């Protein structure tokens, strides 16, 4: 099964936090690519900065992804993966409301995701049921022929 995850985290408004948020955004793809390639469970992942209503600065950071496997056990793969662990920890560190429990271990991470995820499985349309692994396998076989 493919799961949607929309992590929406309002962030602090001071200049340093805003700059950090911009940095997380700008480095996101480079930071997570190797780990996500290796995991072969993530279809897409992207990050957005939600502007303040005033038009100045950012109100929140939002990470959206579609990944294979049930949510509860598969969160561990994101935590054990250095690239995604760093990205999620960086987001937790600039959250307007400090996460409780703190995001310093897997249980803290699981809670952080559960408390800030705007989606559940029923919210998502999918054009195809295949997993990343199945898709990659199908195309690598096709290439071999």
Partner 1 sequence: MPVSNSQPDRNNVQGMIMRGYTHPWSCHLIFKFATQPGAKGFIKAILPYVQSAADWGDDKPEMMLNIGLTFTGLKVVSKLTTSDLAGFPPTFKQGPASAGSQQSLNDGKSNIDTWVFGQTGKQVDCVVHVYGMDEPALNKLVKIVADAAVAGGLTEYLPIANGTKRLEEYATVPRNSIHFGYLDGIDQPALNWGNPDDPADLSAFLIGYPNNTSQPGPSQGNAGVFAKDGCYNAFRMLYQDVDTFDNFLDTNAKEIAPKLGLSIADATEWMAAKLNGRWRDGSPLELTPDKPNPELSHATAFGYSGDTTGMKCPFSAHNRVANPRDEVLSEPGLPPRLIRRGMAYGQPFNSKTASEDRGLIGLFLCGSLSNQFELLYSWINTTNFSNIFPNQQGQDALIANRSMPGADTSFTIPTSKGPVEIESLPQFVVTRGTAYCLLPSISTLKSIVE
Residues engaged in binding partner 1 (CB under 8 A): 1, 3, 38-41, 69-73, 75-77, 79-80, 100-102, 104-108, 110-111, 114, 120-122, 129, 131, 133-134, 137
Contact assessment for residue 2 and residue 42, using Cβ atoms and an 8 Å cutoff: no
Kindly report the length of the chain: 145
Phi-psi region of 55 (alpha: psi -120 to 50; beta: other; left: phi over 0): left
* Residue 46 vs 137, nearer CB to partner 1: 137
Cα distances (Å, whole numbers) of residue 140 to 66, 76, 108, 143, 144: 22, 28, 38, 5, 6
* Residue 17 vs 39, nearer CB to partner 1: 39
Strands (E), 11-138: 42-51, 58-68
CA-based diameter of the chain, in Å? 56
* Residue 51 vs 98, nearer CB to partner 1: 98
As measured in angstroms, the least distance from the Cβ of 52 to partner 1 is: 28
As measured in angstroms, the least distance from the Cβ of 113 to partner 1 is: 8
* Residue 23 vs 70, nearer CB to partner 1: 70
As measured in angstroms, the least distance from the Cβ of 22 to partner 1 is: 30
As measured in angstroms, the least distance from the Cβ of 10 to partner 1 is: 18
């Amino acid at each position: 099964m493919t799961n949607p995850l929309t992590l929406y985290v309002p962030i602090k408004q001071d200049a340093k936090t805003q700059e950090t948020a911009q940095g997380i955004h700008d480095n996101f793809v480079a930071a997570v690519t190797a780990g996500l390639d290796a995991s072969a469970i993530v279809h897409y992942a992207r990050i957005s900065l939600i502007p303040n209503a005033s038009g100045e600065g950012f109100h929140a950071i939002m990470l959206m992804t579609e990944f294979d496997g049930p949510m509860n056990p598969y969160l561990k793969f994101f935590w054990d993966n250095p690239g995604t662990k760093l990205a999620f920890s960086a987001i937790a560190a600039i959250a307007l409301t400090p996460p409780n429990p703190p995001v310093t271990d897997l249980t803290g991470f699981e809670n952080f995701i559960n408390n800030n995820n705007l989606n559940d499985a029923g919210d998502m349309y999918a054009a195809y049921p295949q997993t990343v692994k199945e898709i990659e396998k199908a195309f690598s076989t096709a290439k071999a022929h």
